[in-house]
Amino acid sequence: AQSVTQPDIHITVSEGASLELRCNYSYGATPYLFWYVQSPGQGLQLLLKYFSGDTLVQGIKGFEAEFKRSQSSFNLRKPSVHWSDAAEYFCAVAISGGYNKLIFGAGTRLAVHP
Amino acid sequence: EAGVTQFPSHSVIEKGQTVTLRCDPISGHDNLYWYRRVMGKEIKFLLHFVKESKQDESGMPNNRFLAERTGGTYSTLKVQPAELEDSGVYFCASSQDGRTQYFGPGTRLTVL
């Protein structure tokens, strides 16, 4: 069965520091890959997505993610974190060509220290 | 353009009662999905509509859950009778192309 692993439940960084959130998936082929963010009191907002092509994708709010087929990973990065980035981040995959239901990781809660 | 909306934002009910959650997708989106996150767990898929038809309902936990999508527009998810383990946040998402899903703010359901 397909699965998504986000190894870090909680991460704390200082404002201005760089950030990398890890995501690994288990699936035989290349799925569609997504990162969503949920800020306090808000719904899930799409940060970025990967379907095919260039393995480095740019998203909103200065985020980027890199797809590495050999590692089955889709890690999210940001060079300089802002206090407003404190939120919960979810990696998700969908089976390409299927019904496209999303399979989510457990989420990583990010805290930002001033 | 309005996003996905969900009503109510919060619902607190007693065990055994009935609750109906509503989702209005982005206009023109034929694909509509329901997901649920129970406390401390992953967000889990419940079901997928294409227009008014159920495309995939493999994630529905049991027959206490009934989803409908009248006329291919808004959707409702009814839980009857509600149990304690049904507590969680219910998310709705819609998609135009069946790949990129846009989520609503969620409905937090508490069953006492």
Q: Around B49, how many Cα atoms within 13 Å sit in the side-chain half-sphere? A: 27
Closest to A42 (Cα-Cα) out of B52, B6, B18, B45: B6
Tens-digit pLDDT profile for residues A18-35: 999 999 999 877 789 999
- Full DSSP string of A38-53: E-TT--EEEEEEE-SS
Per-residue pLDDT, A97:
62
Tens-digit pLDDT profile for residues A80-95: 999 999 999 999 999 7
A23/chain B closest Cα distance in angstroms: 14
Query: B33, A101: Cβ pair inside 8 Å?
Result: yes
Neighbours of B49 (CB within 10 A): 23
Question: CA-CA-CA-CA torsion for B65, B70, B75, B81, nearest 10 degrees?
Answer: -20
Q: Which residues in chain A show pLDDT less than 50?
A: none
Distance CA B39, CA B56 (A): 24
Q: What is the mean pLDDT of residues B67-93?
A: 96
Distance CA B87, CA B27 (A): 29
Residue B14 has pLDDT above 90, yes or no: yes
Chain B interface residues facing chain A, Cβ-Cβ under 8 Å? 4, 31, 33, 35, 41-45, 48, 55-56, 59, 91, 93, 95, 98-106
